[in-house]
Copies of this chain bind each other. A is one copy, B any other.
Amino acid sequence: MSHNTFGHLFRVTTWGESHGPAIGAVIDGCPPGLRFTLRDLQDQLDRRRPGSSRFVTQRREPDEVRVLSGVLPAEDDPEVMVATGTPIALQIENVDQRSKDYGEIARQYRPGHADYAYDVKYGLRDHRGGGRSSARETAMRVAAGALAAKVVPGLKVRGAIVKIGEKSIDRANWDWSVVDREDNPFFTPDAASIPVFETYLDAVRMEHDSVGAVIEVIAENVPAGLGAPLYGKLDAEIAAGLMSINAVKGVEIGDGFAAAALKGTENADEMRMGEDGRPVFAANHAGGVLGGISTGAPIVARFAVKPTSSILTPRRSIDRDGREVDVVTKGRHDPCVGIRAVPIGEAMVACAIADHYLRHRGQTGRI
């Protein structure tokens, strides 16, 4: 029910604004005995972290996560934390807040932002850095996703950029090892796209503009049987999770919108029996989910992120008093927020799968 919680049995509740003292998450329902290290969380947080290239915001956030509850040190290795089954509280201090950057726009409604909507809804708003809608909140999703991924044995969730603005990758070049390469600031799986994106985004930045992006997330080793036929469809919850990320405007599973143009004969993923006694699908138009339930094939989701709304080019708007104003959003902003959305998308997919794994086990006992 909560506006700030994701999941049902593996439940992630986040709190905090970019300009308060800290942000945090409470993860309730983690299976007892789950083992993890701070490093597991930190590695994912570091991937999402601002300041790692000139294509993302220059805010400096060390993003050091602390675990405040719900764990015991493992008897065999004090670096390892063991979940006790009670709520795991995660927390990150906010150390680089500079709230003065935002001062002048406290009364203006920035186009493309939720400023006006917040004011109507709440009668007031935290204008500092986007308040609750700040991209900062997504750090907690990433940390939670790192735990979620461990809930399902063998689960592997990886994401990549497939499009920035008008530039798409060449799927023929897809190479997962490229995604996290040091010289790749884009999470692209296509090495050839790196210089293309660099040139393109440099131009966008020069124009004081921004662009959107499309991200693809693929989850492998998802057991068949997770999900439910209707309102709890695995893909419906993945869609909700991805759409709950800031600035996301579209979500697809498998062939997604392209499926609408397919014939039924093309779209049917034919089955044969595999050598290991499990079915093999001749194709994966369905993206690993049929009737809301995982089939054992890789789960494929894509989501679209709109261009960063905070830009240095003036846009026309109004202020709280209804006066017409020109708005320029200073501060340190990503020319393409979609880039940093890659680990966030992975995290939401991992959380949805982990939640359904526990729900499936609860109802059926079949895992």
Contact = CB atoms under 8 A, between A and B. Distances in A.
A254 to B, nearest CB: 6
Query: Which interface class (under 10, 10 to 19, 20 to 34, 35 or more) fits A?
Result: 35 or more
Interface in A255-283: 255-257, 259-273, 277, 279, 282
A109 B280 CA distance: 12
Given A82-B124, A230-B244, A307 B262 contact: yes
Contacts of A113: 290-291
A6 B365 CA distance: 21
Interface in A197-231: 204, 207, 209-214, 224-231
A250 B244 contact: no
A111 B363 contact: no
A308 B268 CA distance: 9
A361 interface: yes
A9 interface: yes
A338 B116 CA distance: 36
A53 interface: no
B229 A114 contact: yes
Given A230-B4, A316-B271, A361-B361, A13 B131 contact: no
B133 A307 contact: no
A21 B255 CA distance: 36
B118 A291 contact: yes
Contacts of A165: 260-263
A39 interface: no
B230 A14 contact: yes
A123 interface: yes
Given A24-B89, A267-B306, A362 B366 contact: no
5 contacts: A2-B11, A163-B260, A163-B261, A165-B261, A212-B262
Given A113-B291, A213-B260, 15 more contacts: A1-B11, A4-B231, A15-B87, A17-B70, A24-B89, A114-B229, A116-B279, A123-B364, A123-B366, A204-B263, A212-B267, A243-B253, A264-B313, A268-B315, A273-B318
Contact of A265 (B68, B116, B313): B313
Contact of A124 (B84, B262, B295): B84
Given A253-B249, A290-B117, A358 B363 contact: yes
B5 A28 contact: yes
B252 A249 contact: yes
A68 B20 contact: yes
Nearest to A237: B240
Interface string A119-157: 011111110000111000100000000000000000000
A229 B132 contact: yes
A103 interface: no
Interface string A24-57: 1010111111000000000000000000000000
A359 interface: yes
A332 B203 CA distance: 56
Contacts of A11: 1-2
A293 B114 contact: yes
A257 B16 contact: no
A347 interface: no
Given A209-B263, A240-B236, A267-B306, A114 B15 contact: no
A86 B359 contact: no
Contacts of A122: 32-33, 84-85, 364
B291 A32 contact: no
A242 to B, nearest CB: 8
